[in-house]
Amino acid sequence: MNVAPYIEKYVLRKEPVVDATSGSITYEDTRYKASILGFDYNHAKAFADESIAKSIEMLSAVFDVRDTIGKPNKVEVATIGGAIGVPALTMRQAFSRFKELSPEKVLGLNPVETKRKWRRYEEAVDDFCDQMGEGIDVLTLKNKDAYEYRANLIRRIGEGEFKSDAANKKLGWLRIVTSRVFESDHPEQINPFEKVKITGIDDDEKGQPFTEAEVRHVRAELEKSGMSDEAKTIAILGECTGAGAKELLLLSPQDICLDADIPHIRIGENEHRKKVKRGGSRHREVPIVCPYALAALRKFPCGFEKFHSPQGPTRMNRALSDFFKNVVPGKGHYSYRHRLDDLLKKSKCDLGLKTAITGHTIKGEGHALYYGEGREAYTLLDKQEALKNAIAQARTIQTNNQINYMTEATA
């Protein structure tokens, strides 16, 4: 049903809708004018797409406004008559608008970090456009279109192009981009990516911890490696603290407390960063209980100044990635973190204490058990004892593995 003639006849009365389309009236003009007049702008087609009851409800607001206007000008005619259609919005345009609406995502970041932050969203947009087409209007996307892209991703997972975790991230970035733009500019739109995820594919190697044999092998290879001493020290600290490479990379002199009663590092805000990742639980103090890690860090009391530049994290990631790829394929620096997490669990470490060391967040029902002082209730001494127990657990695992090997060899 085309309601435009009825709007012209009963709402506009003497002023024809066709005159409204002359000149350079835009969709934004009509939306703004509608907001001034006190109703939500709708193109004439929107009335036809709705139920009769909904159309009447939408028209009632228009009728009320029309009765207050003597002789509407061209913009008012176009606004009341719904003469200007919604312009198409490509995914790349949506991404540009997303950046305008989301300055908080790069607040305080240097140009290199800002580019890297936006790039994760842009890569998802690039992939969607490459696979589904450049000119697709995001405002016309339906749930079935999002599921078609999901099927495309699953096919490529099967072909070995990437893992399911990477595919889900692409869907997630697209969901965030469209959600922000729709909420701001098109609140009537339903996000087609809202509940679209990939599940049931057990293929992801992310999160694999180092075995104790691999830890010893990596340590031996580090000594022979041509990497800088700074990079080697960051890897050693990762083994003993479970801290991420970037968390360690940007330590400043006040964060390195080696002459304290309990030698430790402080991971938090400093002159090189405003916060660590999402802040909160990631900001913490971690004791250093391994003598060889303590000795290595004493060489760098001011931190790793070689990497205190915008390009520092990229250079460090490249060096560590190349090293681990050659020494322990499929694993990386983050495997230290998962290994320590497992050791703390196996040594019966309290959940709250474990997260105070690793900086993880307690999720689900277990969170209620650690209200009150939370992680602040755990002292450096508590953490030191927990880490010593974890290392003792590692030695036990190593010994048991050696006994099992000797038993198998004898048999």
**Considering only CA atoms, which of 80, 73, 58 is closest in space to residue 9?**
80
Position 1 pLDDT exceeds 60: no
Asked, for residue 368, whether it belongs to a domain, the answer is yes
Burial of 208 (0-12, 13-18, 19+ CB in 10 A): middle
Residues 15-52 have pLDDT tens digits of: 333 344 445 777 677 767 777 776 766 665 665 666 77
pTM over 0.75: no
Residues 311 and 381 occupy one common structural domain: yes
Q: What is the pLDDT of residues 245-270, one digit of tens each?
A: 989 999 999 999 999 999 999 999 99
Residue 201 falls within a domain, yes or no? Answer: no
Q: Does residue 100 lie in a domain region?
A: yes
What is the layout of strands, in order, in the sheet containing 284-287? 256-257, 264-267, 284-287
Shared domain for 154 and 226, answered yes or no, is no
Give the domain range for residue 30.
4-81
Give the residue, 402 or 290, on which the prediction is more confident: 290
The domain boundary, picked from 166, 185, 204, lies at 185
Contact 220, 229 (CB under 8 A): no
pLDDT tens digit string along 148-185?
A: 999 999 999 888 888 899 999 999 999 999 999 999 98
Residue 45 resides in a domain:
yes
CATH classification of the domain holding 221: 1.10.443
Taking the C-alpha atoms of residue 225 and residue 232, their distance in angstroms, rounded to an integer, is: 8
Looking at the fold, whether 334 and 406 belong to one and the same domain comes out as: yes
- The reply to whether 259 and 391 lie within a common domain is yes
Same domain, 109 and 67: no
Query: pLDDT digit string (tens) for 63-103?
Result: 667 666 767 777 777 666 666 666 778 999 999 999 999 99
| Domain C-terminal end among 81, 102, 130 | 81
Residues 154 and 38 in one domain: no
Same-domain pairing of 367 and 320: yes
Q: How far separated are the first and last CA of the chain, in Å rounded?
A: 85
Q: Residue 391: is its pLDDT beyond 60?
A: yes
pLDDT digits (tens, 9 = 90+) for 118-131: 999 999 999 999 99
pLDDT band at residue 404 under the 50/70/90 scheme: low
**CA dihedral over 62, 66, 68, 74, signed as positive or negative:** positive
Domain count, the chain: 3
Please tell me the predicted confidence (pLDDT) of residue 410.
53
pLDDT at 267: 94
Q: Quick one: pLDDT at residue 112?
A: 84
Looking at the structure, tell me whether residues 234 and 375 fall in a common domain: yes
Q: In this structure, are residues 64 and 124 in contact, taking their beta carbons and an 8 Å threshold?
A: no
- Do residue 143 and residue 59 come from a single domain? no
Distance, CA of 289 to CA of 291 (rounded, Å): 6
**Is 363 in the same domain as 283?**
yes
In a domain, 193, yes or no: no
- Share the mean pLDDT of the chain: 83
- Lowest average pLDDT, out of 196-210, 315-329, 379-393, goes to 196-210
Q: Say if residue 257 is in the same domain as residue 347.
A: yes
Contacts with 8 (C-beta within 8 Å, 6 or more apart), sequence order: 16, 17, 81
Residue 200 belongs to some domain of the structure? no
Determine the pLDDT at residue 26: 73
Between β-strands 264-267 and 284-287, what pairing exists: parallel, antiparallel or unpaired? Answer: antiparallel
Query: In terms of domains, do 222 and 180 share one?
Result: no
256: exposed, middle or buried (Cβ count in 10 Å: 0-12, 13-18, 19+)? buried
Indicate the residue among 81, 100, 127 that finishes a domain.
Answer: 81
Spatial CB neighbours of 281, under 8 Å, sequence gap ≥ 6:
355, 359, 360, 361, 375
